Structure 1
Amino acid sequence: MIYAQILAGGKGTRMGNVPMPKQFLTLAGKPILIHTVEKFVLESRFDAILVVCPADWLSHTQEIIRKYISDQRVHVVTGGNERNETLMKGINYLQQHYPRHDDDVIITHDAVRPFITQRIINDNIEAALVHPAVDTVVAAIDTIVQGTDDQASAIPVRANMYQGQTPQSFNIKALVTAYQKLTASQKASLSDSCKICLLAGQPVTLVRGESFNFKITTPYDLRVASALVEKRD
């Protein structure tokens, strides 16, 4: 079976003084989250589409999903305290409500990347059906400088560098197995779901993203997103 999980658990602290998490802010007349979910309901191969949100915003998320989305495959689930705990809570929901198969896959995507295309979704599905883990990336344009504070420690070869986006997609059985092997300190340090598989020695396959598949994180990003929607419309 093929599932989608929209990660809407962030608090949006870099968005500044706003009344709600960034995924619920309005973009062209409706919440950013809804723009994202609408892209996923267009894909008929999904058996279920989860929207995983903070517990404090569960009722609000359910309300806006009812208002804008009529697709019965969409379910709202409470997330965890951090990204990968949220991811696993979504998987736990699926394992409790749907039959399990060794070839089940999940396509996970940030709620605040509303410009994802059907091509990117399709490429993730096709790759996840044959590989344990898939990451969506774009080639790095700028030189990457590795360092801490004000000291550079390395400048990697730019041709080998990519910027990570989402979706990140997984064979569910392989992901759960890899996650269960991690120590508590490893789990606490993770900021990227594909690293779960890398730490377990599993390969991660890359698929091509798009520069416009960006994450709305700051007020500037929201202005850019508004301009893109206005130009498209």
Structure 2
Amino acid sequence: MGKLGVVIVAAGKGSRMRTAESKQYLKLGQKPILVHTLQLFQNIHEVDEIILVVGETDMKRCSSYVKDYALTKVTSVQAGGAERQESVKKGLDALQPGTEWVLVHDGVRPFAAVEHVLSCFRKAQESDAAVLAVPVKDTIKIVNEAKQIKSTPDRRSLWAIQTPQAFRLSVLLDAHEQALNEGFLGTDDAMLVERMGTTVHVVEGDYYNIKITTPEDLPWAEWILQHVRGEGHR
């Protein structure tokens, strides 16, 4: 079996958190959020290597994390690009030869369940592309610029997409190449693969796999750490 690499993207500034510090470096328990995320993948046996993509000014502190927390699977810390898509591509390009599979994951999602990560990976091995997702709980409305409701899609067909997103590396590289050549900017990697005509499968995760984005997420993250997904629970 070809190697499995993980690209963890943590280059964003995260203005929605309204803190001077970027959200991935805020403390959760005793450690930065990003360290929790890195340790999650460090401890998954199937993962061969981790590429960490961060803001250029954060490379030094992230290299210190790698050393201080014995993150032996992190083989490279890369400076990200202006857009997430560019950051992911830099991470993909840094993967070692012989890597056949890749998981792309948000640096501010420290609570993905290991069994869901592995289910997503196995689905990609069957089908080339899979993403973790959960059914949407709320009714979703399509709204125009004047904040007027235009339509209500059937909730049964709506899923909130999470990470990791798992791909055959060659497929994702082709998708990134095509997007770059055509000047297309997507909101996630699955979107780039979808537009090439490849079917992306959804693997059901859970609602604890939150993306820590706004101040409201922090107390909820602390609770998850204490009661569900902290190191004592893994």
Identify whether the pair has TM-score above 0.5, normalized to the shorter chain.
yes
Instruction: Kindly indicate whether the alpha-carbon contact (under 8 Å) linking 1:47 and 1:73 is maintained by their aligned counterparts in 2.
Output: no
Q: Say whether 1:65 aligns with 2:66.
A: yes
Instruction: Kindly indicate whether the alpha-carbon contact (under 8 Å) linking 2:6 and 2:51 is maintained by their aligned counterparts in 1.
Output: yes
TM-score by length of 2: 0.90
Which residue of 3, 6, 26 maps to 1:4? 6
Query: Equivalent residue for 1:214?
Result: 210
User: 2:226, 2:175 → 1: CA distance?
Assistant: 43
1:154 deviates by 2.0
Q: Which moved more, 1:67-76 or 1:48-57?
A: 67-76
Query: Equivalent residue for 1:109?
Result: 105
1:184 deviates by 5.8
User: 2:205, 2:105 → 1: CA distance?
Assistant: 12
Residues 117-173 of structure 1 show CA distances to partners (whole Å, capped at 9, x for unaligned) of: 111111121112122221111001111111222122221111111111111111111
Q: Which moved more, 1:65-74 or 1:161-170?
A: 65-74
Instruction: Kindly indicate whether the alpha-carbon contact (under 8 Å) linking 2:101 and 2:169 is maintained by their aligned counterparts in 1.
Output: yes
Query: Equivalent residue for 1:38?
Result: 39
Instruction: Kindly indicate whether the alpha-carbon contact (under 8 Å) linking 2:121 and 2:130 is maintained by their aligned counterparts in 1.
Output: no
Query: Equivalent residue for 2:150?
Result: 153
Query: Equivalent residue for 1:180?
Result: 177
User: 1:184, 1:221 → 2: CA distance?
Assistant: 37
Q: Which amino acid aligns with 1:28?
A: G
User: 1:108, 1:72 → 2: CA distance?
Assistant: 15
Q: Which moved more, 1:147-156 or 1:178-187?
A: 178-187
Instruction: Kindly indicate whether the alpha-carbon contact (under 8 Å) linking 1:135 and 1:206 is maintained by their aligned counterparts in 2.
Output: yes
Q: Structure 2 stretches of 5 or more lacking a match? A: none
1:73 deviates by 4.3
Q: Structure 1 stretches of 5 or more lacking a match? A: none
1:224 deviates by 1.2
User: 1:163, 1:206 → 2: CA distance?
Assistant: 10
The number of residue pairs the alignment matches comes to 226
SS at match of 1:77: strand
1:10 deviates by 1.2
Residues 49-96 of structure 1 show CA distances to partners (whole Å, capped at 9, x for unaligned) of: 1111111111111112211134244432222111111111011111xx
Q: Which moved more, 1:170-179 or 1:211-220?
A: 170-179
1:73-152 to 2 correspondences below 5 Å: 73-94=74-95, 98-100=96-98, 104-149=100-145, 150-152=147-149
Q: What's the RMSD between the two structures over aligned residues?
A: 1.7
Q: Which amino acid aligns with 1:155?
A: T
Q: Say whether 1:169 aligns with 2:166.
A: yes
User: 1:40, 1:70 → 2: CA distance?
Assistant: 9
